[in-house]
């Protein structure tokens, strides 16, 4: 399937989880510090609404980046303040997210595939923006399901998250003030058999191991030292430490 179908499937998986939550679960603490489960879903609703809005606004440069603030607060701080301003009871939050996810996917499918759109750190084409949305929903689904002990198995849709993490390594290195070296990632898919490979085959720095662990490190849901991943070469360990799927 293509990225838009996979994004919709990832949203469906989260929707199935949310549909089964009771009031106590909605108000329980999530794994996102300071946020309840309802807060996490509100954040996803807000950012999905921003997807549709940025597509409606047209090409990159026609509106401020999502997450931009007048006083240049870090993105995380801006997102937290946004959630705090708009907290609501779980039923309203859930309905808002469901409406936003529908509008967002529809807008992404209809957008000009070659026209970059304004987003957090850089303009993104619709397919890449859809990939970031899949990655964020997957990561925040972990924030919801793990504290509540709800099963949320890895799927082959993680290939999009792994691709994104590798693609953004130059950004991660630049943010740390480092020059990005060639890095290859050789990852075992959730089926335990398929190999996903990203980066030049002759790269001297290689990260290898389970894709699920790699993606959790990139989403900052797992410490590199606890991931069971193997690094080989001069820059592989640093690449793993800097790995991320989101903008600062």
CB 142, CB 152: distance < 8 Å:
yes
Share of the chain above pLDDT 90, in %: 88
Bridge-based pairing state of the strands 205-210 and 183-188: parallel
Q: CB atoms < 10 A from the CB of 90, how many?
A: 19
Which of 137, 146, 184, 144 lies closest to 165 in space, CA to CA?
A: 184
Q: Where are the domains of the chain?
A: 3-145, 158-242
In this model, does residue 208 exceed pLDDT 80?
yes
- Mean pLDDT within 124-152: 97
Write out pLDDT tens, residues 177-197.
999 999 999 999 999 999 999
Show the tokens assigned to 17.
Answer: 């989880």
Show the tokens assigned to 79.
Answer: 């997102």
Distance CA 60, CA 81 (A): 25
- Mean pLDDT within 121-137: 94
Share of the chain above pLDDT 70, in %: 93
Which of 126, 136, 151, 130 lies closest to 218 in space, CA to CA?
A: 136
Please tell me the pTM assigned to this model.
0.92
Edge-first strand listing for the sheet containing 195-198: 195-198, 183-188, 205-210, 230-232
Options 3.40.720.10, 3.30.470.20, 3.30.1050.10, 2.40.30.10; CATH for 158-242 is 3.30.1050.10
Write out pLDDT tens, residues 105-127.
999 999 999 999 988 878 899 99
Which of 109, 143, 141 lies closest to 127 in space, CA to CA?
A: 109
Based on the number of CB atoms within 10 Å of its own CB, is 63 exposed (0-12), middle (13-18) or buried (19 or more)?
middle
CB 127, CB 113: distance < 8 Å:
yes
What pLDDT does residue 194 have? 98
Phi, psi for residue 206 in degrees, rounded to 5: -135, 135
Higher pLDDT, 71 or 77: 77
Distances in whole angstroms, Cα of residue 216 to Cα of each of 121, 148, 210: 21, 18, 10
In this model, does residue 61 exceed pLDDT 80?
no
What pLDDT does residue 66 have? 58
What pLDDT does residue 75 have? 81
What pLDDT does residue 72 have? 46
What pLDDT does residue 74 have? 73
What pLDDT does residue 63 have? 54
Higher pLDDT, 3 or 65: 3
Look at residue 199 and give its three-state secondary structure: coil
> Mean pLDDT in the chain?
93
Beta bridge partners of 232: 206
What pLDDT does residue 20 have? 98
- Mean pLDDT within 118-137: 92
What pLDDT does residue 60 have? 62
CATH number of 3-145: 1.20.120.450
Look at residue 29 and give its three-state secondary structure: strand
In this model, does residue 230 exceed pLDDT 80?
yes
Beta bridge partners of 208: 186, 230
Please indicate whether the domains covering 3-145 and 158-242 agree at the CATH topology level.
no
What pLDDT does residue 68 have? 45
What pLDDT does residue 246 have? 78
């Amino acid at each position: 399937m293509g990225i838009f179908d996979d994004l919709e499937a990832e949203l469906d998986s989260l929707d199935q989880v949310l549909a089964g939550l009771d009031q106590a679960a909605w108000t329980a603490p999530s794994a996102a510090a300071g946020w309840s489960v309802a807060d996490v879903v509100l954040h996803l609703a807000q950012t999905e609404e921003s997807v549709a809005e940025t597509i409606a606004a047209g090409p990159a440069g026609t509106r401020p980046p999502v997450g931009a603030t007048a006083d240049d607060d870090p993105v995380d701080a801006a997102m937290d303040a946004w959630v705090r301003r708009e907290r609501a009871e779980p039923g309203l939050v859930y309905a808002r997210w469901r409406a936003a996810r529908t509008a967002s996917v529809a807008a992404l499918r209809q957008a000009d595939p070659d026209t970059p759109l304004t987003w957090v750190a850089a303009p993104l084409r619709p397919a890449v923006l859809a990939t970031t949305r899949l990655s964020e929903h997957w990561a925040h689904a972990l924030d919801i399901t793990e504290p509540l002990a709800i099963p949320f198995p890895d799927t082959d849709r993680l290939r999009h998250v792994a691709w994104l993490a590798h693609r953004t390594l130059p950004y991660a290195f630049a943010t740390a003030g480092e020059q990005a070296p060639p890095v290859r990632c050789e990852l075992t898919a959730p089926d335990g058999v398929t190999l996903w490979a990203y980066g030049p085959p002759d790269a001297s720095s290689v990260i290898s191991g389970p894709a699920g662990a790699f993606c959790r490190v990139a989403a900052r849901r797992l410490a590199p030292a606890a991931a069971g991943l193997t690094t080989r070469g001069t820059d592989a360990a640093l690449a793993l430490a800097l790995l991320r799927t989101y903008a600062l």
